[in-house]
């Protein structure tokens, strides 16, 4: 439900005059914002020169932070990490009352819709294990309630099958949630073994666990999976999606779990040897991860080496296998997952270093090797706090669009490496020779052959319910397509792209993504995020309809119509009434406000964002007929000066509908200053949050395009024959210091035109003499006008009261002191009484 607070403001009232009591504070934050924006531009260019990439910052997580901490510790270099910051990051996700850790990945797990996909290695149990195991290596276990953590992990024990599931076991949860898995069991046992003094009180569970883990091994010699370990016992549940079971990873979790009990010898060792032999390529000296030879051979070789030494499997040449792992580091000095797919995730290096360490082979890395690996982990995966699963050299289309658009707004596009950006964008293009539709991947720099990330980063993998999570990112989307094409347009490369790829086919494919099955009335008329309307996908698509993608579909179609010069978007072959019906079905209107309900979120900033999308689409299709007054009420009642997203989309609505919303410039200026990170030169959505690089574009847009405000400081009246002193500054929502050539004039029919002088801090001042002439009594009328070159871009009216036949004095701060004189006649002379009145006013428009 939308929460409305504040006051009503009547429609079409523009505040042209008001008291300004903090011009100095406004000026200081505005100048600071100008400098901060400038520093972000410099940092983008400096980072590119240093790394050869424009660094993309991915979301940190407890999983990635454990990977980073564990890898640095295994390399003997944990002292090079910022331990205090890491501990603070981990503990920021801890709830003292429940004694549990939760992050976005854990909430995504709870939102799992098993009819869509299950994301592995991020269950609530595993996320808590990551936090505990990382804190242990950071010598900070004393910060948590150990007994509560032990109780929680045991609550995840499956009393029916044994093994551990990803959350507390209950008869009420989904059946697939009840399925024990090897990975959950491994992390549960690792954590319990750390926190408990011994297993004496859990002898029965220990025996059950040993039996359960051994049951995961395939011992049927007629089964092509013979000898390996599966990750779970349910044939209908893919608990390690993206790979074919059994494979080396589930075997690792199973055997390493048994090792905790000293029972690794309880497996059927001979059949496991057959499994290892089946995936060991002795001629090339590396392991595949499963019998179908999927492409994870570098990681699989490290795990295969570790398990071979642990179980006594005879390798043809141990040193050559070790050398294969050592010599297949990439140009950064870390590891890709395989020799076939050149993508590097933190998971890859973590698993390889862990296996080398547990196999006693970490010594193959020289001191220089270790330093290089450590530097990359900290630089490419490290954040202000915590680590991310994906490194900085995989730019998203959103990030590239942010860079190009912000540089374009400031006429700095030529400072960028345009050929590099063009290459990254075209690399991300998906065309019909590969699959049956055209569009863009959401990220780039993955090389010739695209493959999904094994760690399922939340930026691109968000399918599921939205009871806890509000992420809606995908690997490919209309948003990525628009941002890619708009970036190409701004770097003057869209024409070149159109010569190589069929933009008409792209247009048609986008039109085909409108969801038009009447059997799904709630989704009917909207656009999917990328996939065409196929019958076999209907159920999946119906669960992944979000209004944002309809907005970006329309934006992309507008861009393509212009590029192809084929008329107006309304003449394209799609069902406009169905889209309007979808909007109407999600439109909430009360007696006071109206807005678009995005359904997946109650966050007011997200509601305002989706309301902007609604307004834009209706106007683009020339069917806008909403109540502007109610939209104005929505904004005024829900303005949040602690959220830049709230401010930005409120501003966008105001500009699109010409509502002239009166924002508090000082509050916006202060917000922008407070959300800036001096360390990494980026902005956050609100103070205290992790940075979001797209915010920089929002701020640049408002800094360059929001309406100007003239802040004036002057007296309320002036004596005839006296001097009128006016001090002023020009600002907008973000800044008051401009590189633009702005001139401020005082123009009056009575007093003529007077140009303001400019101070070093971008203030303006002027002194105007008022003639001692009764024609100027009782009022002087004028206006302040801002010119950019010869163009009037802002003006405000201003009036002054005049008086005469009174004695004027100028006080030491430049205000006018008026002496009201009282004459009392007495015998022998006159006594004069004076009352000092000092008047000064500050107004703005």
**pLDDT tens-digit map of 645-671:** 999 999 999 999 999 999 999 899 999
Average pLDDT taken over every residue of the chain: 89
- pLDDT for the residue 840: 41
pLDDT of residue 8: 26
Long-range contacts, stretch 537-545, CB < 8 angstroms, 24+ apart? 539/115, 540/115, 540/116, 541/515, 542/515, 542/517, 543/113, 543/115, 543/116, 543/463, 544/116, 544/463, 544/474, 545/515
Q: Which phi-psi region, left, alpha or beta, contains residue 666 (left: φ > 0; alpha: ψ -120 to 50)?
A: alpha
CATH number at 731 reads: 2.60.40.10
Peptide bond connecting 246 to the previous residue in cis, omega within 30 degrees of 0 = yes
> Among residues 521, 542, 570, which one ends one of the domains?
570
In a domain, 728, yes or no: yes
**Does the residue 181 lie in any domain?**
no
Q: Using CA atoms, how far apart are residues 775 and 145, in angstroms rounded to an integer? A: 83
Q: What pLDDT sits at residue 336? A: 94
- Let me know if residue 42 belongs to a domain: no
Q: Is residue 410 part of a domain?
A: yes
Q: How far is CA 747 from CA 59, 252, 656, 712, 744, in A?
A: 53, 81, 31, 14, 10
The C-alpha atoms of residue 239 and residue 229 are separated, in whole angstroms, by: 13
- Closest CA relative to residue 53, chosen from 61, 62, 63, 44: 44
pLDDT digits (tens, 9 = 90+) for 400-439: 999 999 999 999 999 999 999 999 999 999 986 555 678 9
Does one domain contain both 552 and 405? yes
In whole angstroms, what is the distance from residue 142 CA to residue 269 CA?
Answer: 40
pLDDT of amino acid 329? 97
Q: Of the residues 519, 539, 570, which one is the last residue of a structural domain?
A: 570
Element counts in the chain: helices (H) and strands (E): 27, 25
Q: Which two tokens stand for residue 416?
A: 């960028």
Strand partners, 798: 782
| Same domain as 545, residue 396 | yes
Work out the end-to-end distance of the chain between its first and last CA atoms, rounded to an integer number of angstroms.
35
Is residue 7 predicted with pLDDT exceeding 60? no
Identify which has the larger pLDDT, 275 or 246.
275
In a domain, 791, yes or no: yes
The answer to whether position 72 is within a domain reads no
HSE of 127, CA atoms in CB hemisphere, 13 A: 26
The answer to the question of residue 721 being in a domain is: yes
Domain C-terminal end among 570, 600, 623: 570
pLDDT band at 841; cut points 50, 70, 90: very low
For 98-145, write each residue's pLDDT tens digit. 999 999 999 999 999 999 999 999 999 999 999 999 999 999 999 999
Q: What is the pLDDT of residues 19-77, one digit of tens each?
A: 333 445 445 555 689 999 999 999 999 999 999 999 999 999 999 999 999 999 999 99
Q: How many domains does the chain have?
A: 2
Is residue 227 within 8 A of residue 271, CB to CB? The reply is yes
121 vs 731, which has greater pLDDT? 121
**Contact status, residue 113 vs residue 463, Cβ threshold 8 Å:** yes
Q: Are 483 and 428 in contact (CB under 8 A)?
A: no
In which band, very low, low, confident or very high, does the pLDDT at 675 lie, cut at 50, 70 and 90? very high
* 409 located within any domain: yes
Domain enclosing residue 716, as ranges: 709-844
- The secondary structure of 347-412 as a DSSP string is HHHHHHHHHHHHTT-GGGS-HHHHHHHHHHIIIIIB-SSSEESB-TTS-BHHHHHHHHHHHHHTT-
Binning the chain into helix, strand and coil, the percentages to the nearest 5 are 45, 15, 40
pLDDT at position 247 over 50: yes
């Amino acid at each position: 439900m939308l929460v409305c607070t504040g006051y009503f403001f009547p429609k079409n009232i523009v505040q042209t005059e008001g008291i300004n009591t903090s011009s100095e504070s406004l000026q200081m934050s505005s100048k600071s914002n100008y400098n901060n924006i400038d520093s972000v531009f410099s940092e983008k260019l400096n980072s590119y020169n240093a790394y050869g990439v424009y660094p993309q910052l991915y979301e940190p997580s407890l999983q990635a932070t454990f990977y980073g901490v564990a890898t640095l510790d295994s390399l003997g270099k944990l002292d090079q990490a910022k331990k205090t910051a890491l501990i603070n990051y981990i503990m920021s996700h801890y709830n003292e009352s429940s004694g549990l850790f939760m992050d976005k990945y854990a909430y995504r797990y709870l939102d799992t819709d098993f009819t869509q996909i299950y994301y592995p290695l991020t269950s609530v149990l595993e996320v808590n294990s990551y936090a505990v195991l990382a804190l242990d290596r950071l010598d900070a276990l004393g910060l948590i309630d150990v007994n509560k953590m032990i109780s929680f992990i045991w609550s995840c024990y499956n009393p029916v099958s044994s093994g551990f599931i990803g959350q507390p076991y209950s008869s009420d949860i989904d059946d697939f949630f009840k399925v024990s898995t090897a990975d959950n069991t491994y992390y549960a046992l690792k954590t319990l073994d750390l926190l408990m003094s011994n297993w004496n009180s859990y002898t029965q569970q220990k025996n059950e666990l040993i039996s359960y883990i051994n049951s995961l091994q395939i011992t049927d010699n007629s089964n092509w999976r013979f000898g390996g370990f599966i990750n779970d016992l349910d044939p209908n549940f893919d608990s390690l999606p993206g790979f074919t079971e059994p494979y080396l990873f589930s075997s690792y979790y199973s055997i390493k779990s048994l090792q905790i009990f000293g029972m690794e010898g309880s497996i059927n060792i001979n059949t496991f040897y057959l499994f290892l032999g089946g995936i060991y390529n002795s001629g090339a000296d590396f392991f595949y991860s499963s019998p179908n030879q999927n492409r994870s051979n570098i990681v699989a070789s490290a795990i295969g080496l570790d398990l071979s030494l642990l179980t006594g499997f005879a390798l043809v040449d141990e040193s050559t296998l070790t050398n294969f792992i050592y010599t297949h580091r990439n140009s950064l000095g870390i590891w890709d997952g395989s020799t076939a797919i050149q993508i590097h995730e933190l998971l890859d290096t973590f698993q390889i270093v862990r296996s080398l360490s547990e196999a006693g082979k970490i010594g193959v890395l020289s001191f220089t090797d270790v330093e290089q690996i450590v530097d990359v982990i900290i630089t490419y995966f490290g954040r202000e706090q915590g680590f991310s699963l994906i490194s900085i050299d995989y730019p998203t289309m959103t990030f590239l669009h942010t860079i190009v658009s912000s540089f374009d707004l400031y006429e700095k596009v030529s400072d960028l490496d345009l050929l590099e950006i063009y290459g990254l964008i075209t690399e991300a293009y998906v065309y019909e020779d590969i699959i049956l539709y055209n569009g863009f991947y959401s990220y780039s720099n993955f090389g010739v052959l695209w493959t999904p990330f094994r760690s399922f980063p939340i930026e691109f993998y968000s399918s599921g319910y939205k009871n806890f999570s509000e992420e809606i990112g995908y690997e490919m989307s209309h948003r990525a397509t628009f941002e890619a094409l708009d970036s190409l347009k701004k770097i003057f490369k869209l024409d070149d792209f159109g010569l190589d790829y069929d933009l008409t086919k792209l247009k048609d494919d986008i039109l085909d993504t409108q969801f038009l099955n009447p059997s799904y009335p709630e989704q009917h008329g909207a656009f999917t995020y990328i996939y065409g309307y196929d019958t076999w996908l209907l159920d999946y698509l119906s669960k992944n309809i979000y209004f944002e993608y309809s907005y970006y579909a329309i934006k992309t179609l507008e861009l393509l119509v212009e590029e192809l010069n084929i008329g107006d978007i309304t003449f394209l072959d799609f069902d406009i009434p169905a889209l309007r019906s979808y909007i109407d079905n999600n439109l909430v209107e009360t007696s006071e406000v109206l807005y678009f309900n995005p359904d997946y979120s109650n966050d007011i900033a997200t509601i305002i964002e989706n309301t902007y999308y609604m307004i834009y689409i209706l106007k683009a299709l020339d069917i806008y007929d909403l109540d502007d007054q109610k939209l104005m009420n929505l904004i005024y009642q829900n303005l949040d000066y602690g959220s830049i997203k709230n401010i930005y989309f409120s501003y966008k609505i105001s500009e699109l509908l010409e509502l002239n919303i009166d924002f508090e410039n000082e509050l916006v200026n202060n917000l922008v200053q407070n959300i800036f990170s001096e360390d990494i030169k980026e902005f956050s959505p609100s103070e205290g949050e992790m940075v979001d690089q797209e915010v920089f574009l929002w701020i640049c847009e408002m800094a360059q395009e929001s309406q100007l405000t003239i802040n004036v400081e002057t007296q309320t009246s002036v004596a005839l024959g006296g001097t009128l002193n006016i001090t002023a500054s020009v600002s907008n929502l973000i800044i008051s210091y401009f590189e633009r050539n702005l001139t401020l004039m005082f123009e009056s029919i009575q007093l003529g035109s007077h140009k303001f002088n400019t101070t070093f801090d971008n203030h303006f001042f002027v002194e105007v003499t008022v003639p001692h002439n009764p024609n100027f009594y009782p009022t002087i009328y004028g206006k302040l006008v801002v010119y950019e070159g010869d163009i009037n871009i802002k003006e405000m009216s201003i009036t002054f009261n005049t008086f005469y036949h009174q004695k004027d004095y100028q006080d030491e701060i430049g205000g006018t002191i008026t002496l009201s004189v009282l004459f009392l006649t007495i015998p022998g002379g006159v006594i004069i009484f004076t009352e000092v009145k000092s008047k000064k006013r500050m107004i703005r428009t």
